[in-house]
A and B are shown apart, each in its own frame.
Chain A
Amino acid sequence: LAFKDKLSGAQQALSASARQLQPAREMPNYALQFTLVGHTEAVSSVKFSPSGEWLASSSADKLIIIWGAYDGRYEKTLHGHNLEISDVAWSSDSSCLVSASDDKTLKIWDVRAGKCLKTLRGHSNFVFCCNFNPPSNLVVSGSFDESVKIWEVKTGTCLKTLLAHSDPITAVHFNCSGSLIVSGSYDGLCRIWDATSGQCLRTLGNDENPPISFVNFSPNGKYILIATLDNTLTLWDYSRGRCLKTYTGHKNEKYCIFANFSVTGGKWIVSGSEDNLVYIWNLRTKEIVQKLQGHTDVVISAACHPTKNIIASAALENDKTIKLWMSSY
């Protein structure tokens, strides 16, 4: 099946290039390369390491598994959490991971040694999302206790607590310079914070908006991608507070599905969906350019490789697998 896909994709590419001599292709040709089996419960998040070598996956079975990004080979397992893990994130040098768990803690791991370096305690409810800042000296976390916490990695202490929202926080992200934090919550608001002072700089949306399930800065830090539980993804220019693009066609009404920018080849928006497919949109034209089929349950997470055209997708408990898809462009 994968082989056939590759062929048709290649044919398409040839015809496209014949028509227009432009380096950027209109459509990617992602095809399934590997299926990674190992988790015993629903997978909650997959992330590629910034170096491109590894893929980290967190799951409801309380484990984090590290896989090889190019061959899908199992590398190691990190245990330590007492309850299900909702998110995992890499540090910029790919040596550390931070994981957010329902046991109200975050753990910072040394990947090479496979050990937990620090446990960050302070949240009073499930910790749902986490991220490193680019210098990787800070970790930001969002929790069901409606607060965003900024932690210092070296000491494991909470530096700041932002009483950010009035509902569980579903996503937190640093921008590429580390000066801003974006947070999204079920209350329908997306807020941008100054990372050093903790001041709220901007609020997008109002509480009549549908709950926000995911937010992300674009790689250049200029735009914010917001996913809402009304089957919509929107791209905002946050400095002007304007919505620039809207991406629809997928299904997202219940789960906090990750979405990402794919900038290695063509410029796409990649997202999982509740209809078991991975959706890829053309960033500019907002059209669905590909739908990747293969999972047998909700695709909760989709990550893009930093240098190669590889997408990793993970699904919930009916499936429990991670799939690696590769494309020529």
Chain B
Amino acid sequence: MAFLDNPTIILAHIRQSHVTSDDTGMCEMVLIDHDVDLEKIHPPSMPGDSGSEIQGSNGETQGYVYAQSVDITSSWDFGIRRRSNTAQRLERLRKERQNQIKCKNIQWKERNSKQSAQELKSLFEKKSLKEKPPSSGKQSILSVRLEQCPLQLNNPFNEYSKFDGKGHIGTTATKKIDVYLPLHSSQDRLLPMTVVTMASARVQDLIGLICWQYTSEGREPKLNDNVSAYCLHIAEDDGEVDTDFPPLDSNEPIHKFGFSTLALVEKYSSPGLTSKESLFVRINAAHGFSLIQVDNTKVTMKEILLKAVKRRKGSQKISGSRADGVFEEDSQIDIATVQDMLSSHHYKSFKVSMIHRLRFTTDVQLGISGDKVEIDPVTNQKASTKFWIKQKPISIDSDLLCACDLAEEKSPSHAIFKVTYLSNHDYKHLYFESDAATVNEIVLKVNYILESRASTARADYFAQKQRKLNRRTSFSFQKEKKSGQQ
């Protein structure tokens, strides 16, 4: 009977269980064939012991280690047969022989033949390195061309040159168009410039190509660098621009149109209020954000940094973190920004003039607070003359505010800004004027409010503006009319 207080019996039992239950035969190989652990504990006993003991029964014998059960047969015929020593040795010899073949053994032989000093010198001759004269060959055609065409390099419209179809006539679809140019002198107006363009070009690309050809031909006066300042109009064969029709839509491909004569005209900019979007750079600082107004997107980071630092009121002398006493500095730095931010939501009223459609202005009191914008008319003595402009007080909730931009800054005493708001699913614009300082203050204040509120009306407004830019207006109606005439 097996006694469970005997550790060897328990161990043996566990080992046998592993061996019997393991289908792969790995346990058998490890535990029975080559058991390192047991060999350490019990030195290999006499072979007489093995095979005589039955597992599970009297566990007092030492030679239990090698007890084999009749049931368990060593299955090492099936598994991977370990290579015998001889085979390994033969393999090693074979490898060595192969390596030897790769090595060529050379016996060092002393040099018998004496060679004269002359012969030795001839073996490794000194090569004379003369100074090569600078190549005075013909100048390459490339450098000739480069010298001759400085204008080509400086053509601001080079990106549109790829639409030039002059070399592709016959091979690819091209269109030949006579373009009358916006020349101020009346003499050359008679002669159009012939432009061959790839049919895949859009109207915008054609304008660019025209400008490129104009510049590369060296025509005067120089064109405006901005391609979008021009548009194409339909023209008569004699050069007269047909101003009844609107200009060709920039995004339409040129092969849609059948015109052979067009005119390049500078875009008509309305003398009215040009909406210039005031650009704000949002700088996130430790205690919030501050808005810095910039003129255009081309401003450099250095300028923004200077403006931001100036905002922080006081120059920062960096003298190491310990010598700076940073903690105090930090809280002082952002006071200006924090003040701006906090005060932006406070109610503040401004006296400005509201500009109406007919260019009349009325004095109003503009009250801006975090919640709403109120416009109250200020009655003045001359109210009688402007009675047809009934000024009702307007109150705009801040959630409906979409944008507030500086429209124009004519002088320090005269600036115009525009407020856009949502009213009954429609975007309304209001124009106000005042002196530049007040206008800037108002614009900044409203923008702070807008930034911190992040209303949906504002998001929608910008989304719609983006869509408008991308939208194509179909020109098919005009094309039909023209082809009908032909």
Binding site for B on A (CB under 8 A): 41-42, 44-45, 59-60, 83-87, 102, 126, 128, 144, 168, 186, 211, 229, 253-256, 298, 300, 316-317
Contacts and interface: CB of A to CB of B under 8 A. Distances in A.
16 contacts: A42-B320, A60-B320, A60-B323, A84-B318, A84-B321, A84-B322, A84-B323, A85-B320, A86-B320, A87-B322, A126-B321, A128-B321, A254-B327, A255-B322, A256-B322, A317-B319
B134 interface: no
Contact of A41 (B320, B325, B327): B320
A255 B319 contact: no
B328 interface: yes
Contacts of A83: 320
A41 B320 CA distance: 10
B322 A254 contact: no
A300 B323 contact: yes
A102 to B, nearest CB: 5
A42 B319 contact: yes
Nearest to A128: B321
Contacts of A300: 322-323
Interface in B290-335: 318-323, 325-328
A144 B320 contact: no
A317 B323 contact: yes
Contact of B327 (A45, A85, A87, A211): A211
Interface residues of B, number: 10
Shortest beta-carbon contacts, A-B, top 6: A84-B320, A60-B320, A42-B323, A254-B325, A86-B322, A254-B328
Interface string B326-367: 111000000000000000000000000000000000000000
Given A126-B321, A256-B322, 14 more contacts: A41-B320, A42-B319, A42-B320, A44-B320, A59-B320, A60-B319, A83-B320, A84-B320, A102-B321, A229-B327, A254-B328, A256-B325, A298-B325, A300-B322
Contact of A86 (B318, B321, B327, B328): B321
A87 B322 CA distance: 8
B320 A102 contact: yes
Contacts of B325: 254-256, 298
Contact of B319 (A41, A168, A186, A256): A41
Nearest to B320: A84
Contacts of B327: 168, 186, 211, 229, 254
A253 B327 CA distance: 9
B330 to A, nearest CB: 9
Max chain A Cβ within 10 angstroms of own Cβ: one of B322, B323, B325, B326: B322
B328 A84 contact: no
A41 B323 contact: yes
Contacts of A256: 322, 325
Contacts of B328: 253-254
Contacts of B323: 41-42, 44, 60, 84, 255, 300, 316-317
A87 B327 CA distance: 17
Nearest to A255: B325
A102 B310 CA distance: 24
Contacts of B322: 44-45, 60, 84, 86-87, 128, 255-256, 300
Contacts of A59: 320
A46 B321 CA distance: 16
B329 to A, nearest CB: 8
A316 B320 CA distance: 11
A128 B325 CA distance: 12
A279 B290 CA distance: 42
Contacts of A44: 320, 322-323
A317 B323 CA distance: 8
B323 to A, nearest CB: 4
Nearest to B328: A254
Contacts of A102: 320-321
Contacts of A42: 319-320, 323
Contacts of B318: 84
Nearest to A129: B322
A197 B160 CA distance: 69
A104 B320 CA distance: 12
A171 to B, nearest CB: 11
A256 B327 CA distance: 9
Contacts of A45: 322
Max chain B Cβ within 10 angstroms of own Cβ: one of A45, A256, A300: A256
Nearest to A316: B323
Nearest to A45: B322
A87 B321 CA distance: 10
B438 to A, nearest CB: 38
B138 to A, nearest CB: 55
Contacts of A254: 325, 327-328
Contacts of A186: 327
B239 to A, nearest CB: 69
Contacts of A128: 321-322
Nearest to A83: B320
A83 B321 CA distance: 10
A191 B76 CA distance: 65
A3 B200 CA distance: 97
A126 B320 CA distance: 9
A317 B325 CA distance: 12
B327 to A, nearest CB: 6
A135 B455 CA distance: 62
A62 to B, nearest CB: 9
Nearest to A44: B322
Nearest to A297: B323
Nearest to A229: B327
A256 B321 CA distance: 10
Nearest to B326: A168
A317 B322 CA distance: 11
A255 B322 CA distance: 7
B286 to A, nearest CB: 12
Interface string B228-239: 000000000000
Nearest to A62: B320
Nearest to B329: A254
A16 to B, nearest CB: 38
B146 to A, nearest CB: 45
